[in-house]
């Protein structure tokens, strides 16, 4: 048995310097593995390992690009490993939280019929008017091109202009709730025990002006309770989603709460709102001027500075709630109080989608500021099912922005470390070792994630790369050692090296119940 070489190392970098200084150069000197590229010596003798496999294929010659590099579309982005680690934490917390409250996971289509979204979110919302990604109709190949409708519906249920083959008009989904309700009925979930608790995580698309934390493709965590109108479900959804942010340590979040009434009391309130705004029209921006007549509730979505003072003095919906809506709102507040959740009543919170009734809520983060300060929100939508052509069925839900929460996690909590590329890196030194290295990789992979560095770089370069990926061990092998079916196992943390037989390698790096990381197994 070879005695382990114990090498004190103060850091991973010191550890690399040690191994490349002693394992690279001296080991090469005493074995036949030194490569002409790094040492300038005559080529080494062919080994038995080489004879099993041809030496290198002709080297790769990079060709010169003839066009500018193709970049991602505007407003969309890649979630690369560093950020993906934060996403994974956010998504894991979401799944755990949903499971903890008995919500079942579903996966819904990314493309949906345009009517579902237009009738779902409301034809006068920004989402339907400006932000929908409409797909060109696809017919059979060879069909003459058909007209693509450009005019959005003017009122709920308006089919709009153009192509009458509605089944072929599709959009990329901008939100999940309408799809959830459709799936609930289409999949027969309305026939089973009620209510049905569902959750999903996935990408959504809105053609908005791209900004920091406002993307054209983003990820939402969505939960819905469909089939019961008890305000206890409103409170449950809020408690669940508050817990989601809390379990990740996201702080400085405020919960804003409001009720926007229902079809009984809202019309009367909207008239009061119009009476207030009509004499002030010339002080409003053009969009708001239009909203006064067409959809006064949307006036509260406005972010224009000139409209803010008028909004502050506008009549409050909570002063116009009917008896049942007021009672439901009181119940939600009392349940939230009993759950120990603090909230801020915000009579101007209306949310951006038309389908909400009664409770609406939103999580705002003080550090985000501006238009992008919302981490998520939701509310009750008792009129949505009927608007989609299904039997009237109550529901309440939430959509949270995974991109924004992941950003807060990285920039506020700052605790996310991307996982190592692999825990073990196999580093063959010298040519002709691909087959042996992949076999060693296979042996170790049984117990640890393992990657093999097949490149022809020097051991020093390979060790530096291994250090940067955060690997826990390096398994170093040259042709001589491959013949003897041994490797040098290098502990990237302590800097220790020891020879280990291939057969004992898995054992050497396997998690030890008592001591934690790999123990024993020396040759």
Contact residues: ligand AMP, CB under 6 A:
175, 206, 208, 213-215, 218, 220, 352, 374-377, 399-401, 403-404
Nearer to ligand AMP by C-beta: 363 or 502? 363
CB of residue 172 to ligand AMP, shortest distance in Å: 12
Question: For residues 468 and 420, what is the distance between their CA atoms, to the nearest angstrom?
Answer: 9
CB of residue 168 to ligand AMP, shortest distance in Å: 26
Count of CB atoms situated within 10 Å of the CB of 205: 21
Nearer to ligand AMP by C-beta: 174 or 383? 174
Nearer to ligand AMP by C-beta: 80 or 515? 80
Residue 128 CA to chain centroid, in angstroms? 24
- Nearest residue to ligand AMP on Cβ basis: 401
Read off the tokens for 430.
């010298």
CB of residue 411 to ligand AMP, shortest distance in Å: 15
CB of residue 328 to ligand AMP, shortest distance in Å: 21
Nearer to ligand AMP by C-beta: 230 or 373? 373
Q: Check: CB of residue 101 under 8 Å from CB of residue 108.
A: no
Nearer to ligand AMP by C-beta: 412 or 434? 412
Q: Check: CB of residue 340 under 8 Å from CB of residue 358.
A: no
Helix extents (H) in 219-354: 231-247, 266-277, 286-294, 308-312, 323-338
CB of residue 515 to ligand AMP, shortest distance in Å: 44
Q: Which residues of 12-37 are buried (b: 16+ CB within 10 A; e: fewer)?
A: beebbbbbbeebbeebbeeeebbbee
Nearer to ligand AMP by C-beta: 301 or 517? 301
Read off the tokens for 330.
């009181």
Nearest alpha carbon to residue 491 among 465, 511, 510, 471:
471
Q: Is 369 exposed, middle or buried (0-12, 13-18, 19+ CB in 10 A)?
A: exposed
Nearer to ligand AMP by C-beta: 163 or 256? 256
Determine the Cα angle at 110 with ends 105 and 113, to 5°.
115
CB of residue 246 to ligand AMP, shortest distance in Å: 17
Order of strands, sheet of 104-105, starting from the edge strand that comes earlier in the sequence: 104-105, 196-205, 217-226, 395-401, 374-380, 357-365, 253-259, 344-345
Report strand pairing: 424-429 vs 395-401.
Answer: unpaired
Nearer to ligand AMP by C-beta: 23 or 364? 364
Alpha-carbon dihedral of residues 479, 480, 484, 487, nearest 10 degrees? -70
CB of residue 208 to ligand AMP, shortest distance in Å: 5
CB of residue 397 to ligand AMP, shortest distance in Å: 10
Question: How many angstroms separate the Cα of 376 from the Cα of each of 299, 343, 412, 457, 521?
Answer: 20, 14, 17, 48, 51
5 Cβ neighbours under 8 A, 6+ residues apart:
22, 496, 497, 498
Nearer to ligand AMP by C-beta: 23 or 241? 241
CB of residue 374 to ligand AMP, shortest distance in Å: 4
Nearer to ligand AMP by C-beta: 329 or 381? 381
Query: What is the largest distance, in Å, between two alpha-carbon atoms of the chain?
Result: 95
CB of residue 229 to ligand AMP, shortest distance in Å: 21
Q: Is 92 helix (H, G, I), strand (E, B) or coil?
A: helix
């Amino acid at each position: 048995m070879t005695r382990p070489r114990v090498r004190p190392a103060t850091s991973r970098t010191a550890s690399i310097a040690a191994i490349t200084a002693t394992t690279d150069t001296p080991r090469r000197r005493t074995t036949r593995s030194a490569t002409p590229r790094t040492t300038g010596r005559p080529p080494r003798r062919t080994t038995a390992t080489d004879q099993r496999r041809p030496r290198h294929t002709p080297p790769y010659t990079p060709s010169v690009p003839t066009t500018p590099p193709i970049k991602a579309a505007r407003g969309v982005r890649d979630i690369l490993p560093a950020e993906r680690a934060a996403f994974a934490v956010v998504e894991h917390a979401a799944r755990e939280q949903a499971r903890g409250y008995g919500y079942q996971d579903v996966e819904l289509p990314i493309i949906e019929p345009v009517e579902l979204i237009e009738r779902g979110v409301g034809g006068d919302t920004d989402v339907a008017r400006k932000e929908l990604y409409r797909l060109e109709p696809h017919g059979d190949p060879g069909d003459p091109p058909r007209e693509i409708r450009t005019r959005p519906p003017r009122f709920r249920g308006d089919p709009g202009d153009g192509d009458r083959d509605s089944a072929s008009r599709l959009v990329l989904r901008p939100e999940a709730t309408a799809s959830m309700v459709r799936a609930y009925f289409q999949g027969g979930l309305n026939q089973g025990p009620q209510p049905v608790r569902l959750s999903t995580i996935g990408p959504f698309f809105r053609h908005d002006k791209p900004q920091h934390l406002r993307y054209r493709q983003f990820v939402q965590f969505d939960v819905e309770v469909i089939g019961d109108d008890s305000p206890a479900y409103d409170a449950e959804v809020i408690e669940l989603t508050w817990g989601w942010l809390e379990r990740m340590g996201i702080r400085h979040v405020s919960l804003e709460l409001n009720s926007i009434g229902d079809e009984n009391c809202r019309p009367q309130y909207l008239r009061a709102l119009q009476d207030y705004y009509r004499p002030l029209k010339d002080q409003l921006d053009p969009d708001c001027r239009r909203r006064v007549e067409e959809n006064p509730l949307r006036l509260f979505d406005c972010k224009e500075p000139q409209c803010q003072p008028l909004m502050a003095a506008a009549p409050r919906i909570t002063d116009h709630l009917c008896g049942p809506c007021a009672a439901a709102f009181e119940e939600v507040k009392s349940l939230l109080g009993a759950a120990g959740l603090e909230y801020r009543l915000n009579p101007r919170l209306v949310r951006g989608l038309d389908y909400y009734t009664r409770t609406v809520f939103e999580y705002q983060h003080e550090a985000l500021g501006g238009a992008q300060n919302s981490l998520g929100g939701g509310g009750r939508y008792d009129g949505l099912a009927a608007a989609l052509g299904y039997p009237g069925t109550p529901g309440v839900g939430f959509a949270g922005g995974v991109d924004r929460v992941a950003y807060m996690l990285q920039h506020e909590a700052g605790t996310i470390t991307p996982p190592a590329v692999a825990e073990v890196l196999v580093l063959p030194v010298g040519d002709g070792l691909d087959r042996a290295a992949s076999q060693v990789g296979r042996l170790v992979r049984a117990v640890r994630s393992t990657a093999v560095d097949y490149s022809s770089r020097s051991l020093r370069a390979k060790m530096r790369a291994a250090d940067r990926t955060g690997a826990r061990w390096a398994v170093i092998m040259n042709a001589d050692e491959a013949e003897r079916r041994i490797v040098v196992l290098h502990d990237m943390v302590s800097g220790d090296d020891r020879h280990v037989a291939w057969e004992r390698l898995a054992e050497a790096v396997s998690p030890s119940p008592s001591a934690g990381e790999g123990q024993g197994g020396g040759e």
